[in-house]
Structure 1
Amino acid sequence: MIPRVLSIAGTDPTGGAGIHADLKSISAAGGYAMGAVTAVVAQNTHGVTDIHYPPVEALTAQLEAVSSDVQIDAVKIGMLGRVDYIDAVRAWLEKTAPKVLVLDPVMVATSGDRLIDEQAEEHLRQLFDFATVITPNTPELEILVGAQRGEIRGVDDAVDAARRLAAETGSWVAVKGGHLEGSEISNYLVSAEGSLAETRSARIETSSTHGTGCSQSSALATRLAAGDSGQEALDWVSSWLTESIARADQLQVGSGNGPIDHFFRMRKFSHPEELVGPSLAHTAVLGELAEPVAVPESQTEKPLQTIEPAGPWTAMLAGLSENILQQTIGDGFLTALQRGNLSTREFVAYQVQDALYLDRYARALSLLAAKSPLQEETAFWAGSASNTYEVEQELHRSWLARREVADFLKTVPSAPSKVTSGYTDFLLARAATADYVVGAAAVLPCFWMYADISLYMAEANRPDHPYRSWLETYQDQDFVLATQKAIAIVERLFEEARPDQRVRATRAYLEACLWEREFFQQASYL
């Protein structure tokens, strides 16, 4: 079902916030977007310069026109601003009673500046009776629970305040971790009983966050209207929002606080081959690679436990790809997988694509076996291909044959996705036509990134973990030994290669790392 979602909000002529951001977010989240304008706002990436409020009758006419003709599955409310506007929306809600209503109480800017007066605030509180979810920023949450400005400093404070607001209103309350301090962002949906859903992601250092609150609340309304649970909706929205913020600077919109990139996912999966090309710009530092490039030590607060390089060349590869590994682990899919609350549908979607991937990946390994000049390495690649067919594929077949996943199989693509096809086409092409060192470097992340991610996941594995069998497959000692062997082979090949071959092999390795990242991320929206 494509949810029909109505946004009631003010404008932003630069397209980053307000109703413009809502329409983009609803569409990106899979809904049909509609809008009723409250205020005509003159603003850009530096701030608001003017606000014009049309007569309240204009708002009422818009709402009546939509609801008299269209079945509305969800409503998102943003900027209302005036008492007469709030009262008009309340009267309309009493008649329409939407099943899902996400209310973004636009009362206070993140700077702490008041956007509505106290009388309007009291009228706005009356809308809470209709809300499914209330999505205040931190200053707004403080006002709504009667806290002093600056009193909410951390996640625990915010969750406790959200619980109190939820108890008072009967609605869920969203806690937006982006407004709190720390290198990690935690988002929550909270009820009177406590946290209902939680997601975590790495904080992205950027000024391009204009309209983030508008975008988050309208996407959340869409996913809830589509039938997602609270956890599923929060997972989807947090993953999409993190990625949209991470790619925001590429838009180059304005000279102030720029907007997020709402449609990055749509563009990247329309042309997946373009996804990895521009991302390799940082390899310009490689030069001729007569010797390994020195890579700065990690600045990460929590360094990962990883399988060690075999020498200076593979140490260089590990350093160049560390940020990609961090991005992959910080993605919502792997975060939810580690916690054990990844939705069954997402895991089924991943398993189906992984089974399709493994078939073609095994062929790439067989091509490397045929190309290797050393009998020992031929046996290694051939044995890895055989293990892929016999052990890993059997895990997928047995898991997907379970009765409890049968219904989910009907809802996910059974053919290779664009990312799966793009990734395996890349691997087969490098293994079949490129120099041996290039082909070996291309498949190395299939070993190394998986092994590193598994070490990261191992600390969360437990007897009752719903995905324990998958986690254990890649924590198996035989897989660790195979990974170490693959690293050693690539180290030897780099040592013996020409500088131009090393450059091509390094690019192939990094491109495969990027494909690995996208392969995990795609499961959230297949």
Structure 2
Amino acid sequence: MSDELVLAISGNDIFSGGGLHADLATFTTNKQNGFVAITCLTAMTENGFEVIPIDSKVFKQQLDSLKDVPFSAIKIGLLPNVEIAELTLDFVKKCPEIPIVLDPVLVCKETHDVEVSQLRDELVKFFPYVTVITPNLPEVELLIDKKIHTIDDMKLAASCLKELGAKTVVVKGGNRLDGNKALDVLYNGKEYKIFEKPVLDKNNTGAGCTFASSIASELVKGFSETEAVANAKVFVFESIKQSNEYGVVQYAK
């Protein structure tokens, strides 16, 4: 294991396909030492898949425990409420010299519109402090309040997020625009770059988490943002190839 220390601030997936499981597996595959601060737990109940936020005091204790660790990068995943988001933002503001990847998940979008609005506003506050953001289309549509139907819409959305303060934006389109291709659009303020891979008839649970954590790993290695995204796209494709009934499986490089 190398001396590259990478932190995942993310949730637990009870079925281990995504969340912190995907993050730590990605870091390990890249021969990096992964740490985690858990934002939430999950469970499958009679009400469906439920997200249980970690108590904010406990979450703060986790972050306080890690404040002196010399991390090489941070990947931020599921932030279940405003309190957790605020504590995370305070933490990353103290890490201005390292790459930070934000994979915004508006987990409460199906429960309460007011909380969604508050969490959306809180996520935007992260933009000036992170290196890359990787929202998927539902999150993008909530962040900019516009529907996305085409590649041009994805480009416009990326530019809107850039105007909100993001440095490098990767809008993850998945297979929503083209059922045969998984499409992503990167915008860094200078150029748009489209990444695509064939859609595989496999379980892709955890692909988004793996993509963001892979970008963080590649940035630690010294790749540019565009190179890191390109490498992560390949990594996720190969991981989906090997997925099982619970989600993606990181392949050995």
- TM-score normalised by the chain length of structure 1: 0.44
8 Å contact kept, 1:73–1:100: yes
Shift of 1:179: 4.1
1:96-111 equivalences under 5 Å are 96-107=95-106
What's the secondary structure of 1:95's corresponding residue? coil
Separation of aligned partners in 2, 1:3 and 1:193:
30
Separation of aligned partners in 2, 1:203 and 1:173:
22
Q: Compared with structure 1, are the counterparts of its residues 155 and 31 closer, same or farther at alpha carbon in structure 2 (3 Å cutoff)?
A: farther
Separation of aligned partners in 2, 1:56 and 1:66:
16
Separation of aligned partners in 2, 1:2 and 1:219:
17
Aligned to 1:455: none
Q: Pick the aligned partner of 1:172 from 168, 171, 189.
A: 168
Separation of aligned partners in 2, 1:157 and 1:125:
20
User: Structure 1 vs Structure 2: percent identity of aligned residues?
Assistant: 27
Separation of aligned partners in 1, 2:84 and 2:172:
26
Q: Pick the aligned partner of 1:232 from 223, 227, 237.
A: 227
8 Å contact kept, 1:5–1:26: yes
Aligned to 1:60: 60
What's the secondary structure of 1:259's corresponding residue? coil
Aligned to 1:117: 116
Separation of aligned partners in 1, 2:89 and 2:39:
14
Aligned to 2:135: 136
8 Å contact kept, 2:103–2:135: yes
Deviations along 1:166-210, whole A, 9 cap, x unmatched?
Answer: 122142111223143222233332123331x4433212123x011
Separation of aligned partners in 1, 2:111 and 2:212:
20
Q: Compared with structure 1, are the counterparts of its residues 203 and 179 closer, same or farther at alpha carbon in structure 2 (3 Å cutoff)?
A: closer
1:305-320 equivalences under 5 Å are none
Separation of aligned partners in 2, 1:90 and 1:102:
12
Shift of 1:16: 0.6
Q: Does 1:26 align with 2:27?
A: yes
Shift of 1:95: 2.5
Deviations along 1:221-257, whole A, 9 cap, x unmatched?
Answer: 1111211122321221111111111221xx3x3xxxx
Q: Does 1:88 align with 2:91?
A: no
What's the secondary structure of 1:96's corresponding residue? coil
Q: Compared with structure 1, are the counterparts of its residues 56 and 172 closer, same or farther at alpha carbon in structure 2 (3 Å cutoff)?
A: same
What's the secondary structure of 1:117's corresponding residue? helix
Deviations along 1:279-323, whole A, 9 cap, x unmatched?
Answer: xxxxxxxxxxxxxxxxxxxxxxxxxxxxxxxxxxxxxxxxxxxxx
Q: Which amino acid aligns with 1:259?
A: G
Q: Does 1:189 align with 2:186?
A: yes
Separation of aligned partners in 2, 1:156 and 1:28:
35
Aligned to 2:239: 244
1:448-463 equivalences under 5 Å are none
1:80-479 equivalences under 5 Å are 80-107=79-106, 113=110, 117-147=116-146, 151-182=147-178, 183-195=180-192, 197-206=193-202, 208-248=203-243, 251=244, 253=245, 258-262=246-250, 264=251, 266=252
Q: Compared with structure 1, are the counterparts of its residues 71 and 259 closer, same or farther at alpha carbon in structure 2 (3 Å cutoff)?
A: same
Aligned to 2:43: 42
8 Å contact kept, 1:4–1:32: yes
Q: Which amino acid aligns with 2:173?
A: G
Higher relative contact order (CA 8 A, sep 6+): 2
What's the secondary structure of 1:209's corresponding residue? coil
Q: Compared with structure 1, are the counterparts of its residues 23 and 98 closer, same or farther at alpha carbon in structure 2 (3 Å cutoff)?
A: farther
Shift of 1:52: 2.7
Shift of 1:122: 1.6
Shift of 1:48: 5.1
Structure 1, unaligned stretches of length 5 or more?
267-524
- TM-score normalised by the chain length of structure 2: 0.88
8 Å contact kept, 1:6–1:76: yes
8 Å contact kept, 2:127–2:165: yes
8 Å contact kept, 1:155–1:180: no
Separation of aligned partners in 1, 2:175 and 2:141:
12
Shift of 1:98: 4.9
Separation of aligned partners in 1, 2:187 and 2:19:
24
8 Å contact kept, 2:120–2:143: no
Question: How many residues align structurally?
Answer: 249
Separation of aligned partners in 2, 1:198 and 1:2:
33
8 Å contact kept, 1:2–1:30: no
Q: Which has the higher helix share?
A: 1
Q: Compared with structure 1, are the counterparts of its residues 162 and 96 closer, same or farther at alpha carbon in structure 2 (3 Å cutoff)?
A: same
Q: Which has the larger radius of gyration?
A: 1
Q: Which amino acid aligns with 2:167?
A: S
Aligned to 1:479: none
Q: Which has the higher strand share?
A: 2
Shift of 1:55: 2.3
8 Å contact kept, 1:21–1:214: yes
Separation of aligned partners in 2, 1:202 and 1:23:
26
Separation of aligned partners in 2, 1:5 and 1:141:
26
**Superposition RMSD on alpha carbons, in Å?**
2.4
Q: Compared with structure 1, are the counterparts of its residues 179 and 30 closer, same or farther at alpha carbon in structure 2 (3 Å cutoff)?
A: farther
